[in-house]
Structure 1
Amino acid sequence: MRTPQPGGVTPLVFFLDRSLGKKVIAEALRRAGVAVQIHDDHFPPDARDEEGIPIVGHRGGIVLTKDTRIRYRTLERKALLQAGVRAFVLTAGNLQGAEMAQAFITALPAIRRVVQTHAPPFIATVTTRGTVSLLFPK
């Protein structure tokens, strides 16, 4: 259960999909003051997304991924929707870890706005410029 902080603000907990690695992005987000959980700390490295997504959703986690195909995979999308997950997908490919981390850090204000103004479940995109756009539902 997420505990509200002073002032009634519930802290956001970001769950890094295995596609984002274990170290560079997590450390950068933590330095930016973000609570981060890493896929491999909770699930076997070969765990299927449709198995882990419901657990992340139940815990109120916000999924960060660079897997742009997740929105097209029926089982994963169904698991995401049924679990009430909020997912943010980095759209740029071929970025180094530090570049991906910077994109998410730049987008943090927009991510927070989307989380506060849209009920889960949803899938949103994140660009390297920090722009966040809701993909589903529209």
Structure 2
Amino acid sequence: MVLTKDDNISRNILEVEQIAQSQARVFILVSGNLSRQDVITIFVNAIDKIEKITQGNQAPFIAKIYRPAKVIIWLNRAKLGRYI
């Protein structure tokens, strides 16, 4: 599982291809300029939703985390399959 705040990953086709090929489960925090403490707080508040998505979806996938703790699948296994 990958946790990041680099939303540019979703815009870079080469990175999306690598996620698809590596069978990664990626969670991207998409809020803008946040302090380190804000990032930690959002990830901690979202951990139950992250766990549920991880258990309920086959890799690879890319999910986005929004403030305060909304987590949604952005690209699922089927959509990422076209990059493999």
TM-score bracket for the superposition, by shorter chain length: 0.7 to 0.9
| Number of the residue aligned with 1:112 | 51
| Number of the residue aligned with 1:102 | 41
Distance of 1:70 and 1:63 partners within structure 2: 12
TM-score (structure 1 length as normaliser): 0.54
Distance of 2:46 and 2:70 partners within structure 1: 6
Instruction: Kindly provide the amino acid, as one letter, of the partner of residue 112 in structure 1.
Output: E
Which protein has the bigger helix share?
2
Distance of 1:71 and 1:121 partners within structure 2: 13
User: Conserved in 2, the CA contact under 8 Å of 1:100 and 1:128?
Assistant: no
| Number of the residue aligned with 2:9 | 70
- Percent of residue pairs bearing the same amino acid type: 32
Unaligned runs of 5+ in 1: 1-61
Distance of 1:99 and 1:133 partners within structure 2: 19
Unaligned runs of 5+ in 2: 80-84
| Number of the residue aligned with 2:66 | 127
Instruction: Kindly provide the amino acid, as one letter, of the partner of residue 62 in structure 2.
Output: I
Instruction: Kindly provide the amino acid, as one letter, of the partner of residue 109 in structure 1.
Output: D
TM-score (structure 2 length as normaliser): 0.88
Instruction: Kindly provide the amino acid, as one letter, of the partner of residue 85 in structure 1.
Output: A
Which protein has the bigger strand share?
2
Displaced runs of 4 or more, over 2 A: none
Q: Structure 1 residue 128: deviation in Å?
A: 2.0
Larger radius of gyration: 1
State the Cα RMSD in Å. Answer: 1.0
Q: Over residues 72-93 of structure 1, what are the superposed CA-to-partner deviations in whole Å (9 max), with x where a residue is unaligned?
A: 2111110010000000000101
Aligned length: 77
